[in-house]
Every structure is written in C-alpha cells, then in structure tokens.
Chain A
Amino acid sequence: MDQTLDVVRYLIDLGPSVFLPLVMLILGLIIGLRFTRALQAGILLGVAFAGVGLVIGFIFGGVAPAGQRFVENTGVQLTAFDFGWTAAAAISWAWPYAVLMFPLQIAINLVMLAFGWTRCLNVDMWNVWGKIFVAALMTYLGVSVPVAFIVAGLWVILELKSADYTERQVQHLTKIPGISVPHLILFDLIFLAWVDRYILDRIPGLNKLKTDPQRLRERIGIFGENAVIGAILGLILGLIAFGPDAAKVAPVVVVAATGLVLMPKVAALFMEALAPIAEQAQKFMQSRFPGRQVSIGLDWPVLAGVPALWTAAIMLIPVILALAVLVPGNIVLPFGSILLIEATIGTVIIAQGDLIRTFILGALSAIMRLFTAGFFAVAITSLARATGVLTIPPEVNQVTWLGTPPLAWFGLKLGQLTQGQDLLLGIGSLIVLGGLIYLWRREMLRREALYGDESGGGLTSGTAVQSSVQPAGA
C-alpha cells in the first residue's frame, strides 16, 4: 500500500503534463476507447498542459515587468494579474480530484431527469472545469474536499435549473430549437434579473433608445480580434509603465497580442484531448433517455450569433480598465479576460439582444467580478502553484481570473458554514442568496412564459432534427 502511494506521489510530482496524460490514457481505456485513440488523447493532454505553461510563461516574461512598473508609477495596487479563463481551466483540470467531477455531474443530471426535476440533458462535458475550479478554490480557503464536492453538486443542480429557466429565451434568441444552456455564466442573472425588472424597466426612455448592434459590430471590425485587442492593451500598459519609450513599449505590445492570440489555440488542445471522452459520456447519457422530451444542454457559444453579446463586451473593455483603477480596493489587473464575455453572455439573454441593457448589466457584472477575482486571488494563486501547470515569477505577486463567478463567494460561505465556521456571515449570506434566488426564479419564470413553446416541446432525443443547410448569409 505504501509502495503504491509512493508510486502515485512520484508520478504526481512529475507534474500535470506527465501525470494527467497517464490518467487520461487509463480513463480512455476504461470507457472503451481503442488503445491508440486513448494514447493520442493522453499525449494531447500533456501537450495542452505544457503549451499553456509555455504561453503563460511567455506572457509573464513580457507583460509582468510592465505591470510592476504600472503599479510603481500610478500607485494603484493592481497586484493580481488576470491570466484569463484558459489558464483558469488549465489549473482546474490539473487539480488532483478533477476527474471525479464528471461522474458527479452526470449522476446528478440523470437523477434529476428521472424524477422530472429538470428538462435539461447536459451533454457539455467541457464546462465541468467550472465546477472543478470552484471546488478547488474552496479547498484552499479551509473547506474540506468532500464539502467542496457537496457545494459543487449544488452548483450542478443550479446550472440545470438555470438552463430550465432560460430555455425558451435562449431558443428565441438563437432560433435553435430543443437546446438550453446549463452554464454557470448564467448565474449572473441571479444577481441581475431583478435589477433589469425593477430598476432598468423604470428608467424612462431606456426602451426607446434603439441601437443596431449588428452594424456597430461590423464597424468595430478588426478591433474585435484578439491580436488587435492584445496590442492595444499592451500599448496602454506599456505607455503607463515606461512612458513614450518605443524600445520598451513595443515588446509589451507584441507579447500582449501574442498572448491573447495563442492562449485559445493551446487551450483548444484540452478539448481535442477531451473530445473522445466527451462523446462517450454524451452517448451514455443520451442512451439513458431515448425518446424522452428533453432539452439538450450545450455550451454558451450557441449564443455567439447574437451581435449585442460581442458589441457590449468590446464596449466594456475601456470601462473595465477604468473600473480597475477607480473601484476602491480593486487589486485585479485585467489582462487575459479583458474581453469579459462572462459579463455579457448571461445578461444578453435577459436583455433579449438589446445592446444598451446588455452593456449596463454587463458593467454591473464586471464590478462584481472585479471584487470576486480580487477576493479569490490568494486561492487561485495557491491552486496555480500547487498544480505546477505554470511557474509564477517574482514580478507577479498573485494571479487571478477576472471571470471568476460571483456566486463562488456564496459557495465558499456555504461550505464554511457546513463546517461550522464563520457562522454569522454564513447564515447572513445564505439568507441574501435565498432571497435573490426567489426573485430570480419568479422573474425568470415570468419571462419564460412570455415566449411560447417554440420548439414544440423540445427534442426527442434519438431522432434527427435540425439539419437544414442554409445558403450563406441567410
């Protein structure tokens, strides 16, 4: 037994890019992949971890000194470097207990479907990382691993309910029948649905402001591309850090642009490694509900055709930079998640594509996320260090992810309360959350009722639907 433990410890110590490919290989064989396919998935996973470490290291090397000078020059203590969702996902996958989140999510989903407690069959095996991330963070803030998994289980339930409460609105917005979006990004609506109803609805004239997000987006053109956003961000950061010294500013511009372009490219390798497992899990789940009326839960990009989502996120870039400097107590230096789509994906649903509303609600979401990312910076830094995915140089004080969901704070308080810690704040936050969930549920159901059942009751899983080929530009 001790020897087995020693072997496992030895393998873990070799780092995630060695250890997790082995886990992947074994997992692949267990679920019935051919050996070569499982081996390929395992190697790709190793490449993904090494790739993320490489790119993040490159970003730190080029941008962190500028960040440090930025703090010295302005006196604004932006000491937590936002490394973006791709890095957050990487350190989540590398958490030692990560793989247990798959059976947990699948089991809860199947039980809830069997009892009719949800309509959503979540086949998105990618965003399991979001629950891993939240659970892992809690363990660095005094919550035990089992309690962290209990809270993560509640998140799974809430995601499915959130998909149910937005199903018709999402189908109306995307015009794709039979789908829903069980994604923790939509938890923003728990905090913001009542703002939309009781504040924005009462602002006279707000509904008369008509914009054309589609046209605006076309005008934004290349300014919406990662390379250009990165270059501009690097330019601003470089100028504040080094003044008009081209020899020092230009490298920051290039590194920042490179970072924002390469991060998604290396992160895609995670999905490539995961794809065969995701497919098997999907088949397994769908085979359990043949002929049942369900909505198929997909990742958020099915909403990506809504122009306001992008236009609002791009318009929020200068707002987030300003907020980072102006919001008292903020420590987050926005970088990797500067295009904060986390703030516009949920809000564009309740705004039903309206640009101004998405923008206002998105700004509120951004403020909540600045605080959340600042609060969890210590835990995220600990997780990043412990997993060994990336090396954090001394110029970088802390790392964080600007997109960290605000509900994570409530999850933490609940976890601590379960363990008898921080009783007063725990109970208080639970009462607040209960009230918010009550308002959210009522408001979302009211909105769902506004949109008829356009999909004719959802997909019958196992039958062919939705396969139309359209001419371009239709």
Chain B
Amino acid sequence: MATKRIIVACGSGVASSTMVMSRLRDLCRQRHLDVEFEVVDFRSLPSHLARADIFVSIAPHGDNPGAHGKPMLNGVPFLTGIGMEPVMDELERLVRED
C-alpha cells in the first residue's frame, strides 16, 4: 500500500485548509494511515489535483474545478469539529483500498 496523497483546498491555502490538515493529520496518525498532505488555494487546485489521491474540500457543494475522477471528501466537519468520525471512516476506507 503506497502512501496516499491528500490534497486540502481552501480560499488562500493558508488558514482553513491548514486547520483541516492539522486535524486530519492527528486523526490519521491515530488510525495508522499512511498519508501525506498538501494544502492549496482553490485557484491552483486544477494544477495540483493530478498528483493527489484524495481531495478534501471545505466548499463541498460548490464549484470544485477539475475534481473529476478524484474522490472528494467533505472538509467542513474538520472546521466545525462536529461529525468528523464518519468522514474519517470514509477516508480510511479510501486509503486502505487496493
């Protein structure tokens, strides 16, 4: 099982995405998941998605350019701190498959 690359996108690739990444990193460590992270802003997302395995978006219902083909997870629970577990279960499933 190779390291899975998770890309987190927000407005500027600074605050929200880093907050989400920080929480995800802790939770992934607890579950012993082999992952690495990258935070980007929405505008440069299309250029970065090609190298990613999983895309975590904090605007999950809006326009997520070029998400085609990559599984997208809802990043909002990692901002609100509410409802993180189901998303983590889905993430774990995605990371551990194949």
Contacts and interface: CB of A to CB of B under 8 A. Distances in A.
B19 A278 contact: yes
B10 interface: yes
A416 B24 CA distance: 45
A296 B39 CA distance: 23
A462 B82 contact: yes
Say whether chain B's binding surface is mostly helix, strand, loop, or mixed.
mixed
A176 interface: yes
B87 A300 contact: no
A5 interface: no
A214 interface: yes
Contact of B59 (A279, A303, A341): A303
Contacts of A222: 47
A467 B74 CA distance: 7
A116 to B, nearest CB: 21
Nearest to A307: B63
Interface string B66-98: 011111111011011111111100100000000
Given A123-B81, A463-B82, A467-B74, A310 B22 contact: no
A459 interface: yes
B18 A302 contact: no
Contacts of B65: 217-218
Contact of B82 (A224, A227, A465): A465
Contact of B42 (A282, A310, A461): A310
B11 A304 contact: yes
A283 interface: yes
Contacts of B39: 268
A469 B74 contact: yes
Contacts of A465: 82-83
Given A264-B13, A264-B41, A301-B11, A472 B67 contact: yes
Contacts of A174: 59, 61-62
A470 interface: yes
B43 A271 contact: no
A468 B86 CA distance: 8
B11 to A, nearest CB: 3
Contact of A268 (B13, B68, B90): B13
Contacts, number: 172
Interface in B1-24: 9-19, 22-23
Given A126-B19, A469-B73, A472-B55, A225 B44 contact: yes
Given A305-B64, A464-B82, A298 B59 contact: no
B18 A272 contact: yes
B9 to A, nearest CB: 8
Interface string A449-474: 00000000001011111111111111
A86 B14 contact: yes
Given A176-B76, A226-B44, A268-B13, A470 B59 contact: no
Contacts of B76: 176, 179, 298, 302, 466
Contacts of A404: none
A209 B57 CA distance: 31
A466 B10 contact: no
A306 interface: yes
B58 A469 contact: no
Contacts of B47: 222, 225
Given A264-B14, A472-B70, A473-B67, A304 B86 contact: no
A305 B18 contact: no
A153 B58 CA distance: 29
A385 interface: no
Interface string A276-290: 101100110010000
B13 A464 contact: no
Q: Which of A86, A298, A301, A306 has the most CB of B within 10 A?
A: A301
A76 B47 CA distance: 38
B13 A214 contact: no
Contacts of A276: 22
A200 B79 CA distance: 35
A62 B58 CA distance: 35
A225 B9 CA distance: 14
Contact of B18 (A178, A275, A474): A275
Contacts of A126: 15-16, 19
Contacts of A341: 11-12
Nearest to A472: B67
10 contacts: A86-B14, A224-B44, A267-B12, A268-B17, A272-B18, A304-B58, A459-B80, A463-B83, A470-B60, A474-B72
Given A305-B62, A472-B70, 10 more contacts: A176-B61, A226-B41, A279-B81, A296-B82, A299-B11, A303-B59, A304-B10, A310-B42, A469-B90, A473-B64
